[in-house]
Chain A
Amino acid sequence: MSDVIRLTTPLSDEDVVKLKAGDRVLISGVIYTGRDAAHKRMIEALEKGEPLPFDVKGQVIYYVGPSPAKPGRPIGAAGPTTSYRMNPYAPKLIRLGLKGMIGKGKMSEEVREHCIKYKAVYFGAIGGCGALLSQRIKKAEVIAYEDLGPEAVRRLEVEDFPVIVVYDTHGGNLEEIGIKQYRVVE
């Protein structure tokens, strides 16, 4: 395994081009949450020419719908949701300057190609580790679509949030590399 790379948001092209599939990264700074319902509304807003809840340029969106915060804590469990459901929305946001997505599982070829063309990275976080990942979130605030409950857009302040690079800006894909290495073909 490679050494851990520390990044602070917002991310620049220089930050993301140095990343390679399989690199372990610790993200600090502000990231934003969004799942299916929030993405649908954001894309609808763009189509109507309305502003987004936040400027996606240089930002990272975390695909998560957290559980309610217990008293005294900023957030409840907050692990990644499956990313392929954001395939219809992610390319448009990448074209607007989004630099990173955090989720789990595969995304589409179109998303991979956008990562190369527009210099963005798809990070993976460990699914089913909501309690552990919540420890790295220091502050959480709903900034849009409050009626969506767990699916509302939140602004998170994170410290050393652990992710791994799945799709890099050079066409590298951790899933392909990893699975090929351990697949037994008979």
Chain B
Amino acid sequence: MRVIDLSEVTEAIAKLCIDANYNLPEDVYNALKEAIEKEKSPVGKAVLQHIIENADLAREGVAPICQDCGLAVIFMEIGQDVRFTGGNLKDAIFEGVRKGYREGYLRKSTCHPFTRANIGDNTPPVIHYDIVPGDKVRIVVAPKGGGSENMSQVVMLKPADGVEGIIETVVKRVDEAGGNPCPPIIVGVGVGGTFERSAFLAKKALLRPVGKPNPDVEIARIEQEILERVNKLGIGPMGWGGTVTALAVHFEMEPVHIASLPCAININCHVARHKEIIL
């Protein structure tokens, strides 16, 4: 057994929350730079140039990339040969979020659903645990903005709807979302298992480096087809018209029930934040 003190987890999460909110990942930054070349609309090009300028300013530490510093979505892959000491894991993760959002001057965006009273420290985070072989812990922090999350959807399709039904559903959703989720967007599509599993897969799809195709060639083909169709919608950067509506479509798939074809669409804005560390 490898022993990891939970203070290490707290520190790591605090740093990742700050890092994610100030330093746009290289893959996203590069995809946005390439998008300037691809975009045909002058307004769209100007928007993309501002987005790059903004990322540079945030990296200098002027302010976070976006005022919506997100709900902290945390993926914990815990090696089964790891034992934690010094408290309990959930508390350590929560403390890391509190510390990161406080010390990083990040906006606290969690609130009571009815009274809308702000919780004040951006807890609770959304934590996805996975137990894996080995003695390491992989932590991914992916702060998720509300504007793009609001445009997401789970649809329980019929098996007869097939691949075409999935493609239609995704394209329709992106079209309806228009400029709301801050395009150019990244579209996560999850098909698999149950209602909640498909939503999880769609979220997980957003963690993949931007534009890296699914290793399955058939799924990669579907990703490409959806991307082409989405970029023909004309929505463009910020929904003000253009040829780059999405930077990428990432599709994750698993077997489903014989009666079902759940299809989840998780939309991410161009501030596609994800940072990770291996302890």
Is B129 located at the chain interface by the 8 A CB criterion? no
Of the listed stretches A45-53, A66-74, A91-99, chain B binds A66-74
Is A100 located at the chain interface by the 8 A CB criterion? no
Give the docked Cα–Cα distance between A36 and B150 (Å). 14
Contact between chains at B270 and A128 (CB < 8 Å): yes
Contact between chains at B269 and A67 (CB < 8 Å): no
Is B54 located at the chain interface by the 8 A CB criterion? yes
Of the listed stretches A6-14, A113-121, A153-161, A176-184, chain B binds A176-184
| Chain A residues numbered 108-142 whose CB sits less than 8 Å from any CB in chain B | 124, 126-135
In this complex, how many residues of chain B approach chain A with their Cβ under 8 Å: the count is 53
Nearest CB in chain B: distance from A27 CB, A: 16
Contact between chains at B270 and A182 (CB < 8 Å): no
Q: A128 and B65 in contact (CB under 8 A), knowing A65-B107, A164-B43, A179-B233?
A: yes
Is A104 located at the chain interface by the 8 A CB criterion? yes
Contact between chains at A184 and B232 (CB < 8 Å): yes
Q: A66 and B107 in contact (CB under 8 A), knowing A177-B241, A179-B241?
A: yes
Contact between chains at B242 and A68 (CB < 8 Å): no
Give the docked Cα–Cα distance between A64 and B120 (Å). 18
Contact between chains at A128 and B54 (CB < 8 Å): yes
Residues of B within 8 A of A129 (CB): 50-51, 53-54, 66
Nearest CB in chain A: distance from B43 CB, A: 6
Residues of A within 8 A of B3 (CB): none
Give the docked Cα–Cα distance between A178 and B66 (Å). 25
Counting chain B CB atoms within 10 Å of each CB, the highest count among A104, A182, A184 belongs to A182
Is A22 located at the chain interface by the 8 A CB criterion? yes
Contact between chains at A77 and B64 (CB < 8 Å): yes
Contact between chains at A105 and B67 (CB < 8 Å): no
Residues of A within 8 A of B232 (CB): 183-184, 186
Residues of A within 8 A of B42 (CB): 1
Q: A36 and B58 in contact (CB under 8 A), knowing A128-B51, A178-B242?
A: no
Residue of B nearest to A1 (CB): B42
Contact between chains at B118 and A104 (CB < 8 Å): no
Residues of A within 8 A of B242 (CB): 178, 182
Give the docked Cα–Cα distance between A68 and B109 (Å). 12
Instruction: Determine chain B's interface SS by DSSP, over half rule.
Output: loop
Give the docked Cα–Cα distance between A64 and B109 (Å). 13
Residues of A within 8 A of B67 (CB): 64-67, 76-79, 130, 150
Residues of B within 8 A of A81 (CB): 68, 146-147
Is A87 located at the chain interface by the 8 A CB criterion? no
Counting chain A CB atoms within 10 Å of each CB, the highest count among B105, B146, B179, B271 belongs to B179
Q: Which residue from A36, A65, A149 sits with its C-beta under 8 Å from B120?
A: A149
Nearest CB in chain B: distance from A80 CB, A: 9
User: Measuring CB to CB, which residues of chain B are less than 8 angstroms from any residue of chain A?
Assistant: 40-43, 46-47, 50-51, 53-54, 57-58, 61-69, 105-109, 116-118, 120, 145-147, 150, 178-182, 232-236, 238-243, 269-271
User: Measuring CB to CB, which residues of chain A are less than 8 angstroms from any residue of chain B?
Assistant: 1, 22, 36-37, 64-70, 73, 75-79, 81-82, 84, 104-106, 124, 126-135, 147-151, 164, 166, 174-175, 177-184, 186
Q: A82-B146, A151-B116, A183-B234 are in contact. List 12 more A-B contacts (CB 8 A).
A: A67-B106, A76-B67, A77-B69, A105-B147, A106-B178, A106-B180, A128-B65, A133-B54, A135-B62, A147-B117, A166-B240, A182-B243
Can you list 17 contacts pairing A with B, beta carbon distance less than 8 Å?
A70-B63, A73-B63, A77-B64, A82-B180, A105-B147, A106-B180, A128-B269, A129-B50, A130-B65, A130-B67, A131-B57, A132-B57, A150-B67, A175-B178, A180-B234, A182-B40, A182-B236
